[in-house]
Amino acid sequence: MQSKFDMMETHCDFRPRMIVWQLIADKTSDNHIENSLTRHECIRIIDNLVKVAKPIVVLTGDSLITRPDLYEIVGYGNALGLKMIIELLPEQITDALLEQYKAFGARTFRLVLNNHVIEDSETRFRQSEEFHSLMCAVNRLKSKDYELHFSYLVSEPDLRRLSYNLDFAFRMSGHGLYCHLRFNRNVREVSLFDDQVMSLDEFISKISDIKFLLPSDMYLSPQCVKYKPYPEGGSSDFDFSDMKHPNWIHQCLAGKTFAFINETGKVFACRGMCKECGDLREVNYDFKTIWKNSQILKLLRENSRSCVQTRILMKQKREAQIPQIQAT
């Protein structure tokens, strides 16, 4: 019998509504720049994306701005009705860049906050070179009438660090802080700390609690999960009767409305899972083929799962395949 949590998603019309697309390899990646998708390949992928749906496409990558074809890729997606978002480091924001992309709208850019907002006991935010670069970028965006949107990569379940980044976004009158969950491999799904059991699901749930402290027009959420009120009559170890707001549970959206594409065209369920769902180069850049036929994505659609449940499922699938690999 399915639990209430499993039954929360009953429809089968799964369409991608959010695609995070890393257009250029991270500095730590083994993939060289010559392996990255060409402009022509990116255009073909965009053509195929709009045949499935019109998702929000978030473009990422450490040195994304170094791609000479970035403007053409963004422009092509916009022309086909896609909402194209570019995530850049503050140091990459220039007046010339903002003028060039102004035709694409006030929500085109998100500033990556990682390593720029650091707690300081005296000044609240450490007055580092990175922080001053961030402030310069904020002022440039404001002067060119862009909305302020921020991005944050969550690699560890550190709520205090996240809160400081959120506090900065709030103080700058930002419209949102968009979190990407990509926990380090050494971070366990469930751990014991000071005789207390802590889980990544608990951390993600606490993010939803912070939302009630923000203005109604300020967005805060991981990009790959969806929060829903805890179902009435649901069993729990906690007493919610004294809560002034509903308790939230989250659902992993990987394979349901979310997917991740890397710089060589490989599709993954999310940014934090290394199990490949398909290679766009091998299917003539037809995203629909992978989205509809990937066994991993099909598996994720069978039930509603939390982030931890999805991570454990993927680990179990990977471990189950090890004996087969060794046998061959």
pLDDT at 284 over 90: yes
Mean pLDDT of 217-244: 68
- Predicted TM-score (pTM) above 0.75: yes
Contact between 288 and 320 under an 8 Å Cβ cutoff? The reply is no
Distance of CA 267 to the CA centre of its chain: 14
Average pLDDT across the chain, whole number: 87
> pLDDT-derived band of residue 28, with 50, 70 and 90 as boundaries?
low
In this structure, which amino acid lies at residue 285?
Y
What distance in Å separates the CA atoms of residue 310 and residue 225, rounded to the nearest whole number? 11
> pLDDT-derived band of residue 69, with 50, 70 and 90 as boundaries?
very high
Beta 119-120 vs 56-60: how paired, if at all? unpaired
Q: 103-119 pLDDT, tens per residue?
A: 999 999 999 999 999 99
pLDDT at 4 over 70: no
Q: What is the pLDDT of residue 196?
A: 62
pLDDT at 304 over 80: yes
Q: 184-213 pLDDT, tens per residue?
A: 888 888 876 655 667 899 899 889 888 888
pLDDT at 152 over 50: yes
What distance in Å separates the CA atoms of residue 122 and residue 298, rounded to the nearest whole number? 51
Looking at per-residue pLDDT, the higher value among 30 and 120 belongs to 120
> pLDDT-derived band of residue 321, with 50, 70 and 90 as boundaries?
low
User: DSSP letters along 247-285, please?
Assistant: -EEEEE-BTTTEEEE-TTSEEESSTT---EEEEGGGGTT
Contact between 35 and 263 under an 8 Å Cβ cutoff? The reply is yes
Residue 46 CA neighbour count, 13 Å, CB half = 25
